[in-house]
Amino acid sequence: MTTPQRYDVVILGTGPAGLQAAIHAARKKVSVIVLGKENKSSLFHAHIENFCCLFNVAGEEMLANGRKQAASFGAHFSEDDVLAINAREDGLALETESGATLITPALIIATGTHRNRLGVKGEKELIGRGVSYCVDCDGHFYKGEAVAVVGSESAAVDGALTLLEIGAKEVHLVCERLDVSQALKAKLETSQVKVHLGAKAGAIQGANQVEGLALSDGSVIPVGGVFIEQGAKGLLQLATNLGIMLDDEMRYIQTDKRQATNMPGIYAAGDVCGPPWQMAKAVGEGCVAGINAADYAKKRKQ
Ligand SMILES: Cc1cc2nc3c(=O)[nH]c(=O)nc-3n(C[C@H](O)[C@H](O)[C@H](O)COP(=O)(O)OP(=O)(O)OC[C@H]3O[C@@H](n4cnc5c(N)ncnc54)[C@H](O)[C@@H]3O)c2cc1C
């Protein structure tokens, strides 16, 4: 087990909200780390024409500049996705996909929105009847059953391993490729998860309840549950254990004007707090969250 690393402020998300938060927090002379994959930001493939003072700039270029700017003030970066957050006596403990543990008094969640529907036949019809988007929320309903997880990144691999731990009889991982850290890949390879590498989900079968997952090569895996876990772990999965207050539809984090959530030391900014999904809003909220999280960390030190 590696020694936990301690930071005054940990920021989840390398999009505009996370980067702006990092710039403002780091300038307050606290130690800051920003986690997440730059090319997974919504901004990465966008072209921005409506952000004040910058006209017609590629999102990728903006992200690279923001990262350089935050690093110049002392912020650290890691590509690691976060798989779990737990509250402990000495602060919040974040477990990452490479097996590292980070401890912090102040956390900023800037993980953006998830548009994680697969769009295959049977998916919409069977939501809540075997189709789920959250292993951490629904996994325990599938003890003793055969289940499948669809996805190629950290949320899917961690989800498949979690289902085994919970006691699913058989766990299939359907992934076109494997886009995770070496540490997580090694865990998967030594587990009992049946990996269908290069496979693509074609349709979810079942009349009133999921009965099988058809792959695009025509084969069918008989399962009672299909978990769609695309990308990194989203808001719902990360917030489940912590008791962070969400809106009525459980889609966005609720914050006050200081971007503080209902949990002391936890702030949120950007698309994860709801629409409008715009860079200008993300940057503004990131600034406020960064300042307040840094102040909170400083007070905790005194
Ligand atoms: C095609 C397109 C065009 C757009 N055009 C415009 C436009 O013209 N003008 C405009 O203002 N806005 C536009 N937007 C919206 C804009 O890109 C978003 O509002 C903005 O990127 C939101 O910033 P954010 O920091 O909240 O989230 P994001 O930029 O989405 O960043 C989220 C970050 O969180 C990280 N993350 C997620 N889960 C985890 C985890 N478990 N662990 C660690 N990291 C995690 C991701 O890797 C990513 O780095 C567009 C979006 C798209 C998709």
φ/ψ region of 67 (left if φ > 0, alpha if ψ in -120 to 50, else beta) reads alpha
CA 256 to ligand 1 center in whole angstroms: 21
> Is the shortest distance between the CB of 237 and ligand 1 below 6 Å?
no
The predicted pLDDT at position 1 comes to 59
Check for a shared fold between 5-114+234-301 and 131-228. yes
Residue labelled with tokens 């930071």: 7
CB of 39 closer than 6 angstroms to any ligand 1 atom: no
Q: Where are the domains of the chain?
A: 5-114+234-301, 131-228
Mutational pocket test of ligand 1: of 10, 12, 42, 85, the residue with most ligand atoms within 8 Å of the beta carbon: 42
| Atom of ligand 1 minimally distant from the CA of 37 | 47
15 lines ligand 1 (CB under 6 A): yes
Low-confidence ranges of the chain (pLDDT < 50): none
CA distances from 234 to 77, 176, 187, 212, 244 (A): 19, 20, 21, 25, 13
Q: Return the CATH fold of 131-228.
A: FAD/NAD(P)-binding domain (3.50.50)
What are 194-246's pLDDT values in tens digits? 999 999 999 999 999 999 999 989 999 999 999 999 988 888 788 877 899 99
Concatenated DSSP letters of 212-247: EEEETTS-EEE-SEEEE--SS--HHHHHHTTT--B-
Centre of ligand 1 to C-alpha 288, Å, is 18
**pTM, full prediction:** 0.90
Q: Whose CA is nearest to atom 27 of ligand 1?
A: 112
pLDDT tens string 149-163: 999 999 999 999 999
Q: For a pocket test of ligand 1, which of 41, 92, 113, 181 has the largest count of ligand atoms closer than 8 A to its C-beta?
A: 41
Q: Which of 279, 281, 283, 288 to mutate to test the pocket of ligand 1 (most atoms within 8 A of CB)?
A: 279
* Whole-number pLDDT of residue 115: 65
What is residue 235's predicted lDDT score, i.e. its pLDDT? 81
Q: Ligand 1 in contact with 35 (CB < 6 A)?
A: yes
Fold (topology level) of 5-114+234-301: FAD/NAD(P)-binding domain (3.50.50)
What is the distance between the alpha carbons of residues 284 and 280, in angstroms, rounded to a whole number?
A: 6
